[in-house]
Amino acid sequence: MHYIGIDLAWTYSNESGICIINDFGKIVYCESKNFTDELIASIVEEHAKDGAIIAIDAPLIVNNETGSRYCDGATMREEIHGKNLSLYNCSRSFMLKHYSIVRGEEVVKVIRSRMPDFSLTGDPHDKKHVIMETFPTGITLCLFPDAFPIKYKIKNKIEFGITKSEMSRMIHLFNRLSDFNPPVYNVTDFFNDSLGIEAMSKKGFKNLEDKLDAFLCAYAAYWLSDNGGKVFGDDQDGFIVLPVINEKKAYAAVESQGHETRKQYQIVPEGQNDLPRTMNAKIYNKLVRDKIPQIIQQSGKQAIIEEVFGKEYLGLLNAKLGEELQEYINSESIEELADLVEVVYAILEHKDVSQQEFEVIRKRKVEERGAFKKKLLLKEVSDG
């Protein structure tokens, strides 16, 4: 049995993402490119011989000529872990006018023409071949309610640097999935929060985003194969399925990874009681120096602060390291270099490595391989 996630582009000119998880909790395929419907169907056919659940991020049934689908409205009206989702409403006339096609319907047709056993349904139980519609943002809320929202998608109104930090935070949260039921064990082979994210162009970042959304869809299919999710709408007029995990179980997964209990508190100007969070709040979701909350308070502003621990803390440190490196490269400022070193010291402390031990390691490498004092540029190496 395989669990296939497809982040389907609504037009053929844009990239789609496909991710496949096997019955042993391992990702066996993850790619983003311009897939034709036939190529998507051939990949599905290759991995569906012993059964498959396909979860697709795209409207698969659009019967309404105007307005919105019932399933879209029902999903937005539902409170999941105390929060509401926002969806892109669609109608048949709108899709045909702007995209000339309802591509989700076309993909389903091509898959079913090759493999007629596939059922388009929100109920995967007792069926070996199932196609369903899902929604990555909703999956994120279901899996990680304590961290939501995670604004890792490129948006015009959000600074690209912030989006990159959010992507690093999203990828770090995947570490939890090894303790979920069912677990996924090799996420870091396909997704990691290395410094490469900071250096990505928008095109490269969008490629990563599509693969990540496909993975979320694949994990939703994997989870729904053994658990009862939430179905909005029906098989006739359109449906969306989400892996609504019991909130206690979701937090238990966090604690089983060795995270300490989360601590979140509000910083408000001195002399004032707790204030409601304003609508024009700027979202950061990144590590800051220890005195930043005090500085914010003294400036007359309010902030939401949360302490983080364990792997999540290390992941945010890695993201911060990339951020500071990029800022130094852009400015070549000694101040930025000092910020970079401060993050390095924090990583050493987290890993229980003293600065003295680190200096010993640095000196040993100098003895073995030298430093950079001679300003040498290696241009070419050839045999002989």
The more confident residue out of 321 and 265 is 321
Most confident of 108-117, 150-159, 312-321, 334-343: 108-117
Do 316 and 302 lie in one domain? The reply is no
203, 326: one domain: no
Confidence of residue 250 (pLDDT cuts 50, 70, 90): very low
- Residue 375 domain-assigned? no
pLDDT of residue 268: 59
Spell out the alpha helix ranges (H) of the chain.
37-47, 70-77, 92-99, 103-114, 136-143, 160-173, 196-199, 202-224, 247-256, 292-298, 310-331, 334-350, 355-369
CB atoms within 10 A of CB 378: 5
Same-domain pairing of 279 and 168: no
Q: What is the Cα–Cα distance from 12 to 103, expressed in whole angstroms? A: 9
Same domain, 44 and 85: yes
Q: Give a yes or no: residue 377 inside a domain.
A: no
Q: Confirm whether pTM is higher than 0.75.
A: no
Three-state SS letters, 37-101: HHHHHHHHHHHCCCCEEEEEECCCCCCCCCCCCHHHHHHHHCCECCECCCCCCCCHHHHHHHHCC
pLDDT digits (tens, 9 = 90+) for 75-114: 999 999 889 998 888 899 999 998 999 999 999 999 999 9
Domain count for the chain: 3
Which tens digits make up the pLDDT trace of 2-25? 999 999 999 999 999 999 999 999
Q: Is the pLDDT of residue 26 over 90?
A: yes
Q: Are residues 292 and 314 in the same domain?
A: no
Question: In the predicted model, what is the mean pLDDT of residues 222-247?
Answer: 88
Domain boundary among 234, 253, 272: 253
Does one domain contain both 183 and 318? no
**Any domain includes 211:** yes
Residues 33, 131 within the same domain: yes
CB 298 within 8 A of CB 268: no
- d(CA 221, CA 56) in angstroms, rounded, equals 9
Retrieve residue 84's tokens: 């509401």
Structural domain contains residue 169 = yes
Task: Band the pLDDT of 60: cuts 50, 70, 90.
Answer: very high
Q: In the structure, what pLDDT confidence band is assigned to residue 74 with cuts at 50, 70 and 90?
A: very high
Q: Are residues 296 and 335 in the same domain?
A: no
Is the domain of 184 the same as that of 235? yes
Spatial separation of the C-alpha atoms in residues 172 and 312, rounded to whole Å:
6
The mean pLDDT value of the chain amounts to 86
Least Cα distance to 132 among 210, 53, 44, 43 occurs for: 53
Strands 129-133 and 52-57: parallel
Q: Order the strands of the 52-57 sheet from edge to edge.
A: 27-33, 16-22, 2-7, 52-57, 129-133, 119-120
pLDDT at 126 over 90: no
315 & 279 share domain = no
Q: What per-residue confidence (pLDDT) applies to 357?
A: 85
216 and 275 share one domain: no
pLDDT band of residue 258 (cuts 50, 70, 90) is: very low
Range of the domain at 247: 2-253
**382 occurs within a structural domain:** no
User: Quick check: is 383 in a domain?
Assistant: no
Residue 125, both tokens: 């139980």
